[in-house]
Structure 1
Amino acid sequence: MAKAFAVACRDTEVKYNPHSVKDTLAAERDRRPLTQQQRKAWSENMGHESEKITETHYGKLSEAERFDLFEEIVQGKEGGMAAPRILTDAQKIALMNELLAKVGLG
C-alpha cells in the first residue's frame, strides 16, 4: 500500500502515506460530535481493534491546535455543539426513573 501512495504522490510537493491518511481520518472523527458507539465504529472501520489504538497512534493535535482548543474552553465556546442542559434534581430523578422503566428495572 505504501508503494501505491508513493506512486500517487510522485508529482506532488506533499507526500502522503497510509499513516498520514489515518491521521487525517482520526482528526476528522475528533472534530465531529459523535456518540461513543459511533467513535468505536469509526475506529473499527479504520481497521483498529479498539478505539484506544486510534487515540494512541493517530489524530494527534499540533501545539497550535491544542492552544486554540484551550482558548475555546477558556472562552466557553461549545465548538458548534449545543450548550449542556442543566437539570434540576427533580428532573434528574424523573429522567432516571424513565430510563429504569425502559430497561425493565423501574
Structure 2
Amino acid sequence: SLLKLRNLILNKFVTGFASTRKKARTANKKQLRRRSRYIGVSRNNDNWQALINVDQVKNYIGTFTDELEAAKAYDLYSVAIRGQEAALNFDYSAEEMLEIIEDYLKSTKQSK
C-alpha cells in the first residue's frame, strides 16, 4: 500500500525508484499511432489513456490530454500496487516519490 511505502521512505529504507525500459515491438501503422513510448499508456482518439495490468486484467486508470501526465499516473498506480518492484516510466528519488504519494493521499482525502 502507499502508506506502507511512504513509511519505508520516511524511515530511509528506500532510497529511490528506477525506470524500466519499454520493450520495442513491431506493429503496423494503425497500431503505431496508438502506441506511446511509455509503459501503460496508449492513445485514445485525441487523448492518452493509462491502464495497468493486475492479475492479467487491464485496469483503467484515466484519460489525459498529455502523454506525460498519463505516464506519471501509471507510475503512481504501479508503485501503489507493486511497491518497489513496480515497472516505472521514470526514475524517482525517494523524496520525489514521497511528494507524489503525499499529493495523491491529500487529493483522495479531499475528494471524500
TM-score, length-normalised on structure 2? 0.25
The structure that is helix-richer by fraction is 1
- Larger strand fraction of residues: 2
